[in-house]
């Protein structure tokens, strides 16, 4: 049996020295180098192919395209992906597939039309390019605007009754049009995209289609954000696409705008919340300038929940 003295002697032994540090001959692995993201681009009405890189948001994208072709960034009305046509289903929003081809639609002819508002709704759906221009994304069949042949999908709205709206967001323009008094004529100054020969005469009234197309290649896209740097992300999941489509439909019905990037931001916000009240508070902090009414927020929350159930 071990004596108390022996135990004390064993306890007094010197502690073991610490393990030696890793050999300097084995440095930690270097982080993977981020590949250069280079995109091909053309002017939609016809041009040589240019290459652009190093942009983090839509304004910087337009500046890069303008630099490539020797034009002013303000000449660009909007961009489409993988099609030179004025195709609103191919409209560049907040995401670009890493192999997408970007077509820039520039200012063409200016025209003025007089409109008399005989109904509450004009039949227009407005979106914007994220850089100061609001333009027509849809024209409802049988509407007031549908009966005016000079007005086309893709036309940028430059002024209402000679009041310039350049720099206004889509929801602000839609609100101005809603608030115009009935039975009084007003004037729209429009700028149509410059068109190639094979596009002349195209009107594209565009009835409501079941899905907002999101053209991507591979499994990654470049996500452009209005604030902060662009990021390379996985292609949105089935739930994210379906929820964003439903929210975009609600934006159109409530506010007269289409904005896939705004819809996507609202879906992202919902993931961080567990109740409609918490969702409303988060929307106020992230998108307070829109001042969404309570009933709209409730419908958005419900639509996102329905999308989640539908996608399993």
Retrieve residue 179's tokens: 């608030």
What is the rounded average pLDDT of the residues 274-288? 93
Domain span at residue 88 reads 38-193
Which of 12-16, 34-38, 208-212 has the highest mean predicted lDDT (pLDDT)? 34-38
Measured distance CA(83)–CA(202) in Å, rounded:
15
- Residue 155: exposure state from Cβ atoms within 10 A (0-12, 13-18, ≥19): buried
Residues 174, 299: one domain?
A: no
DSSP code string of 12-46 = TSPPPPPPPPPPTTSPPPPPPPPPP--EEEEETTS
Q: Which of the 8 DSSP states describes residue 259?
A: -
Let me know if residue 51 belongs to a domain: yes
What is the rounded average pLDDT of the residues 241-255? 92
Residues 45, 178: one domain?
A: yes
Containing 127, the helix (H) or strand (E) segment is strand 124-128
pLDDT at 312: 75
Let me know if residue 199 belongs to a domain: no
pLDDT class of 222 with cuts at 50, 70, 90: confident
Among candidate residues 193, 216, 249, the one where a domain is terminated: 193
Let me know if residue 31 belongs to a domain: no
Is 0.95 surpassed by the pTM of this model?
no
> Percent of the chain having pLDDT more than 90?
61
pLDDT at 232: 75
What is the rounded average pLDDT of the residues 12-39? 58
Residues 99, 188: one domain?
A: yes
Residues 306, 248: one domain?
A: yes
Return the ∠ at Cα 280 (arms to 165 and 230), rounded to 5°.
60
Return the ∠ at Cα 65 (arms to 59 and 68), rounded to 5°.
140
For 126-177, the pLDDT digits (tens) are: 999 988 999 999 999 999 999 999 999 999 999 999 999 999 999 999 999 9
Let me know if residue 185 belongs to a domain: yes
Residues 186, 250: one domain?
A: no
Cα–Cα distances in Å, from 128 out to 6, 91, 131, 157, 256? 85, 11, 8, 10, 12
Residues 149, 293: one domain?
A: no
Measured distance CA(55)–CA(61) in Å, rounded:
5
Let me know if residue 210 belongs to a domain: no
Let me know if residue 268 belongs to a domain: yes
Among candidate residues 164, 193, 222, the one where a domain is terminated: 193
Let me know if residue 47 belongs to a domain: yes
pLDDT at 197: 53
What is the rounded average pLDDT of the residues 100-112? 96
Q: Is the pLDDT of residue 194 over 70?
A: yes
pLDDT at 216: 41
pLDDT at 211: 34
Residues 186, 68: one domain?
A: yes
pLDDT at 196: 74
pLDDT at 233: 74
Tell me how many domains the chain contains. Answer: 2
pLDDT at 32: 47
Residues 79, 185: one domain?
A: yes
Could you tell me which of 76, 105, 109 has the C-alpha nearest to residue 90? 105
Measured distance CA(89)–CA(225) in Å, rounded:
20
Residues 245, 186: one domain?
A: no
Residues 178, 72: one domain?
A: yes
Mean per-residue pLDDT over the chain, rounded: 83
Residue with token string 């007005």: 151
- Bridge pairing between strands 39-43 and 101-116: parallel
> Percent of the chain having pLDDT more than 70?
79
Residues 168, 296: one domain?
A: no
What is the rounded average pLDDT of the residues 292-307? 94
- Residue 234: exposure state from Cβ atoms within 10 A (0-12, 13-18, ≥19): exposed
Q: Which of the 8 DSSP states describes residue 274?
A: S
Let me know if residue 271 belongs to a domain: yes
pLDDT at 6: 47
47: domain CATH number?
A: 2.30.42.10
CA R_g for the chain = 27
Among candidate residues 193, 208, 224, the one where a domain is terminated: 193
Measured distance CA(278)–CA(267) in Å, rounded:
13
Residues 188, 245: one domain?
A: no
């Amino acid at each position: 049996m071990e004596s108390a003295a022996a135990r004390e002697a064993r306890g007094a032994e010197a502690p073991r020295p610490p393990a030696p540090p890793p050999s300097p001959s084995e440095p930690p692995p270097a982080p993977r180098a981020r590949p250069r993201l280079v995109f091909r681009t053309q002017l939609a009405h016809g041009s040589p192919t240019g290459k652009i890189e190093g942009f983090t948001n839509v304004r910087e994208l337009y500046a890069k395209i303008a630099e490539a072709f020797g034009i002013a960034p303000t000449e660009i009305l909007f961009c489409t992906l993988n099609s030179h046509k004025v195709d609103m289903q191919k409209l560049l929003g907040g995401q670009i597939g890493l192999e997408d081809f970007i077509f820039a639609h520039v200012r063409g002819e200016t025209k003025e039309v007089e409109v008399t508002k005989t109904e509450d709704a004009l039949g227009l759906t407005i979106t914007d390019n994220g850089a100061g221009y609001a333009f027509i994304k849809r024209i409802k069949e049988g509407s007031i605007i549908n009966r005016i042949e000079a007005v086309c999908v893709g036309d940028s709205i430059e002024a209402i009754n000679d009041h310039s709206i350049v720099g206004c967001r889509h929801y602000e323009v839609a609100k101005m049009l809603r608030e115009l008094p009935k039975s009084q004529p007003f004037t729209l100054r429009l700028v149509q995209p410059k068109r190639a020969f094979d596009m002349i005469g195209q009107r594209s009234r565009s009835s409501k289609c079941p899905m907002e197309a999101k053209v991507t290649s591979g499994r990654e896209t470049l996500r452009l954000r209005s604030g902060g740097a662009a990021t390379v992300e996985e292609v949105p999941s089935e739930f994210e696409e379906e929820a964003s489509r439903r929210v975009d439909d609600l934006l159109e019905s409530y506010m007269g705008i289409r904005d896939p990037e705004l819809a996507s931001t609202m879906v992202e916000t919902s993931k961080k919340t567990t109740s409609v009240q918490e969702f409303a508070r988060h929307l106020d902090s992230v998108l307070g300038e829109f001042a969404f009414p309570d009933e709209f927020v409730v419908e958005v929350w419900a639509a996102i929940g329905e999308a989640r159930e539908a996608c399993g």
